[in-house]
Amino acid sequence: MNRFSYVRAASAAEAVRELADPAARIIAGGTNLLDLMKYAVEKPTRLVDITHLPLATIEDAPGGGVRIGALVTNAALAYDDRIARDYPLLSSALLAGASPQLRNAATTGGNLLQRTRCYYFYDPATPCNKREPGSGCSAIGGLNRIHAILGASENCIATHPSDMCVALAALEAVIHVEGPDGARAIPMADFHRLPGDSPEIDTTLRQGELITSVELPPPAFGQNHTYLKLRDRLSYAFALVSVAVGLNIEGGTIKKARMALGGVAHKPWRKPEAEQALEGQAPTLENFGRAAELLLQGARGHGHNDFKIELARRAIGRALSQAAEARPQSQTDKRIR
Amino acid sequence: MSPSAADASASVGAIPIRITINGESHALQVEPWTTLLDLLRLHLDLTGTKKGCDHGQCGACTVLVDGKRINSCLTLAVMKDGSEVTTIEGLAQNGDLHPVQAAFVEYDAFQCGYCTPGQICSAVGLINEGHAQSREEIRELMSGNICRCGAYVNIVDAVEHAMAHRRQSPRNPEARS
């Protein structure tokens, strides 16, 4: 690990001031940042410890939703009674991710800012446009089994690794941030970005902005939800493909549908057309198949990851069936039904 | 004294912290890049906690911080100022093994033993958390600890046994009686 100075921020404003230095990094759980520092992918000259800020509570939000402090750990969030009751999709996605030890340390804000798990990004001996802009993409034409099938560019085919973020996308969360120009709110759909020609930039956060909380709108899906995660081993592995679904079904008709995919793109993948195609329709396999085609429109493999397109198509169908029948995927009994 | 932005001079080089490890309070000077794992092993000679992958992938470095299990390799010591840490060395008391340690012996829940301190600290954390009821849940909630010898079946047996007898453990501060 490189040498750095350390400061404990006493307020969000102080943390924001510290971030004026582009070589400074915020640290909270540290589970991703310290890992990247050990690989010399991240080389901050200053770490700003925000763990003493009062951002670790889950509170009512105006309008009937809930506001989750940026420092709430993944474990505290997943097992919170209210979240488990009103937003079981979020609890489920969190418990599908990482390990109990990591969930005890990792925070809500840090999870949003996770970097990709692309092997080349982690390996400073290889070219990577995300790590070293302009150096090239080793995954294109290289080993790309875990890489993106949607929204990629000729510069980067990395995926966003988070499970939590896939659920937050389907739940239409809003990210609250504080920065040098004050506070603002960013809809989850706009928070992460596609790689385009600047894959080194993961999110739409501006220089100096600090995530303070994540707001969820009022609960909308009852038990008609699921988080289906497919991976190379049953636990403690990143998704090859994951699907978060929330449905609101009344009288045999889908009134509202929200779907997001994980493991397939540089951000949780949503497509409003696919959701609209379900709304007003009956929850049938035929309709689910049509929605899957729309959600996967434009999907493209890069060789090793070609299988993900068909895997995703089937996973979407299965997840929609699970949600429609109120049989959310168990994150303990991994059998997929 | 805690470092703050107003006292920038304190922030480079060694920083004073106070940390309680296995019930003993330590006043230490740590460099900010020292992980909790390296503090334990290199500075305090508590080598029971193992360095496996050093990247949060194997769980060999699992310790309890303020009662919660974490990977000590992905934690900076300076950030644990004021915390209470329990390592494998702190579980036995007055010469008696902790019930989870005793269960690992009884159920032969290891072969080479390298992952065992992490497995045991993780199991103590799991039992304190109280989310596992079934064998399946034990398996899932022990998935952060890899055992390359493949002693998993016996590890689950040991944890299940210790969990069933947790009420008999007077040393578990969270035991519900």
First to last CA, chain B: 40
CB A146 within 8 A of CB A118: yes
Q: What pLDDT shows up at residue B7?
A: 45
CB A186 within 8 A of CB A204: yes
CB A312 within 8 A of CB A305: no
From chain B, pick out residues whose CB is under 8 angstroms from the CB of A27. Answer: 76, 79
pLDDT class for B3, splitting at 50, 70, 90? very low
Q: What percent of chain B has pLDDT over 90?
A: 85
* pLDDT tens-digit map of A281-334: 999 999 999 999 999 999 999 999 999 999 999 999 999 999 999 999 999 998
In chain B, residues 86-105 whose CB comes closer than 8 Å to chain A: none
From chain B, pick out residues whose CB is under 8 angstroms from the CB of A43. Answer: none
CA distance B140 to chain A (A): 6
Could you please state the CATH topology (level 3) that the domain comprising B5-90 is classified under: Ubiquitin-like (UB roll) (3.10.20)
* pLDDT tens-digit map of A180-217: 999 999 999 999 999 999 999 999 999 999 999 999 99
Q: Where exactly are the structural domains of chain B?
A: 5-90, 99-168
Whether B74 has a pLDDT exceeding 50, the answer reads yes
- In terms of CA atoms, which chain B residue is nearest residue A1? B33
* pLDDT tens-digit map of B45-59: 999 999 999 999 999
Could you please state the CATH topology (level 3) that the domain comprising A225-324 is classified under: Enolase-like; domain 1 (3.30.390)
Assign domain B99-168 to a CATH class: mainly alpha
* pLDDT tens-digit map of A146-176: 999 999 999 999 999 999 999 999 999 999 9
Q: What pLDDT shows up at residue B31?
A: 97
Whether B10 has a pLDDT exceeding 80, the answer reads no
CA distance B93 to chain A (A): 24
pLDDT class for B17, splitting at 50, 70, 90? very high
Q: Where exactly are the structural domains of chain A?
A: 5-46, 225-324
Whether B4 has a pLDDT exceeding 60, the answer reads no
Q: What pLDDT shows up at residue B5?
A: 43
**Secondary structure of chain A as H, E, C letters:** CCCCEEEECCCHHHHHHHCCCCCEEEECCCCCHHHHHHCCCCCCCEEEECCCCCCCCEEECCCCCEEEECCCEHHHHHHCHHHHHHCHHHHHHHHHCCCHHHHHHCEHHHHHCCCCCCCCCCCCCCCECCCCCCCCECCCCCCCCCCCCCCCECCECCCCCCCHHHHHHHCCCEEEEEECCEEEEEEHHHHECCCCCCCCCCECCCCCCEEEEEEECCCCCCCCEEEEEECCCCCCCCCCEEEEEEEEEECCEEEEEEEEEECCCCCCECCHHHHHHHCCCCCCHHHHHHHHHHHCCCCCCCCCCCHHHHHHHHHHHHHHHHHHCCCCCCCCCCCCC
Tokens of A1: 């690990």
Chain A residues within 8 A (CB-CB) of chain B?
A: 1-10, 14, 17-18, 27, 30-31, 34-35, 38, 46-47, 49, 51, 75, 79, 98-102, 104-105, 235-236, 331-333
* pLDDT tens-digit map of B90-143: 999 999 999 999 999 999 999 999 999 999 999 999 999 999 999 999 999 999
Whether B166 has a pLDDT exceeding 60, the answer reads yes
* pLDDT tens-digit map of A24-74: 999 999 999 999 999 999 999 999 999 999 999 999 999 999 999 999 999
Q: What pLDDT shows up at residue B167?
A: 52
CA dihedral A265, A269, A273, A275 (to 10 degrees): 150
> Which of A3, A17, A105 is the closest to B75 by Cβ?
A105
What residues are paired with A176 via a beta bridge?
Answer: A185, A213
Tokens of A259: 């779907």
Tokens of B132: 């596992």
Residues A157 and A118: their CA atoms lie apart, in Å, by 9
What residues are paired with A46 via a beta bridge?
Answer: A5, A24
Amino acid identity of A316?
Answer: I
In chain B, residues 68-87 whose CB comes closer than 8 Å to chain A: 68-71, 74-76, 78-79
Residue B8 to residue A47, Cβ atoms within 8 A: no
Using CA atoms, how far residue A178 sits from A73, A207, A213, in Å, is 20, 11, 10
Question: How does DSSP classify residue B176?
Answer: -
Residue A101 to residue B137, Cβ atoms within 8 A: no
